[in-house]
Structures are given as C-alpha cells and as structure tokens.
Amino acid sequence: MNLRPYFSSSAKVWDDIQWVYGIEEAGYAGWEIVADGNYRLEKPENLEKIKEVIASTQLGITVHAPYGDLNLATLNDPIWRESIRQIEVCIKTAGDLTDRVTIHPGYLSPAGKLLPQKVWELQKEALRRIGKCATEHGVLACLENMISQKEFLCRDAGELMGMAEGIEGIGLTFDFGHANTLGKVPEFLSNIGHANHVHIHDNHGVSDEHLPLGDGTIDWKTVGKTIATRYSGVIVVEGRSVEEAKKSLAVFSKVFV
C-alpha cells in the first residue's frame, strides 16, 4: 500500500508559519492545516501566507476544520447553525487546497442528554448540510472518532460509521490516538477498510496526550502492519512540535511497512 505521512499540530495555531518549513525538512510528504488561530482559512491574510508556503514547498495538503466551542449536535438552534456555517466556510476555501477535510462530531450538552434521539437527528442533519457543501467544492468531509469523554458522540467505530452512513460528501477519519483512550484500537483496526483518512499519535490509554509515536502504550508494530496492508493514502501524525514530528517519523518509517 502507498502510505504518505503528513504532520499536523493544533499546538501551533497561534505561531508564526515559518515552523511549517520544518515539516518538509524532517521528511514529511504533507501538512494538515488546523484551520484555527492564525490559520483560519476565511481570513485573507492567513490564506495568503499559507499559499506562499505551499507554493515554496512540495508539501501535500489536508485540512482539519475548526472545532473549538462548536457543536453540531446542540439543541441551541443559533449555535447549531453557526457551527455548521463555520465548517462550511472552511470547506469552501479548503476546496482550492485539498480534497480531504476532517470534522469533529458534536457532543451531548446537559440539555441534550435529556433528548438523545433529537441530538442524533441534529447531528445527522448537520452532516447532510456539510456533505452537500463538501460535494459542491470537491471535498470529502471526514467525520472523526472522539476521545473517552462520555459526552462526545462517535467514540466507537460502529457509531462513527452509522452516523456517516449514506450521506453524500461525508467520509471517515480514524484517529488511533483517540481510540486508545477507550481501549478501542483493535476495533478501529478491524474496520480500517472503511477509513478515508487516518490520524495517529500516542498516549497512555487514559487522556488525549498527543505524544510522539512510541511514547505511549499503543502497539505501533501491530497498528502499522495492519494499516499498511489494508489502507492506502494519507496518514497524519499529530504532535506539538517539529522535534516531536521527527521522533514520530522515525517510528513510522519502521513500522508502517
């Protein structure tokens, strides 16, 4: 299988863009832009800097849509509509840069816990609207599995796949760091053929630490071998710095073969 390692860092969204050149120097094939902070794509000054970096490197591009304080499953209609709007704005601009945009599902608010079926329906409708926008702009919006925090939707593979099933323009991002916080790495590995995009990072099975590969408890030999035989495409290493990116790439190069 053809696997292409990209790097992404949500810790760098307020930093100057010069750090991105270190990704290519480290040996990565691409950059997943976390579209927040200084990298909000709808801001012309941000987009100009991003395009300058793209033009001066050989880096491929994917995008992670904004997610902070957004909720695609909220019962609060103005917030629900604004959450959808921000993701659609990101997708419209990202369509000129990539064909993959990762999006987060919503979560159960205190009010939402009283109406779980309504929450599910709101999340599905949000995905239908986002999927329509994605299709119009040549993008697959990939819904990502979440961490162990019980309020989040889509923490296991069955719910993630069920949520996205049958919706045009919506794909799946499998995040193995997130899966490890729930002890569900084997479950996601067994369904890897359904993934359209993959995120990897390490932790100790409790919280979303975003450690370099090999610094946590994930069995990367098993993960790497399985993914390499059943998946082809971009794998995004998520980390906090270029130094961590180098450490993770050393592990990736050994086990994702």
Each residue's pLDDT tens digit, 144-183: 999 999 999 999 999 999 999 999 999 999 999 999 999 9
Q: Which run of H or of E encompasses 229?
A: helix 220-230
Residue 257: other Cβ atoms inside 10 A: 11
Structural domains of the chain ordered from first start: 3-255 (3.20.20.150)
Tell me, what's the pLDDT at 2?
A: 83
Q: How far is CA 130 from CA 78, 191, 216, in A?
A: 16, 24, 34
Whole-prediction pTM: 0.97
Residue 1 has pLDDT above 70, yes or no: no
What integer is the mean pLDDT of 62-74? Answer: 97
Two tokens, residue 178: 């997130």
- According to DSSP, the β-strands at 3-8 and 30-34 are parallel
What integer is the mean pLDDT of 12-38? Answer: 98
Contact 50, 42 (CB under 8 A): no
Contact 76, 60 (CB under 8 A): no
User: Would you state the torsion angle of the CA atoms of residues 88, 156, 61, 220, taken in this order, to the nearest 10 degrees?
Assistant: 170
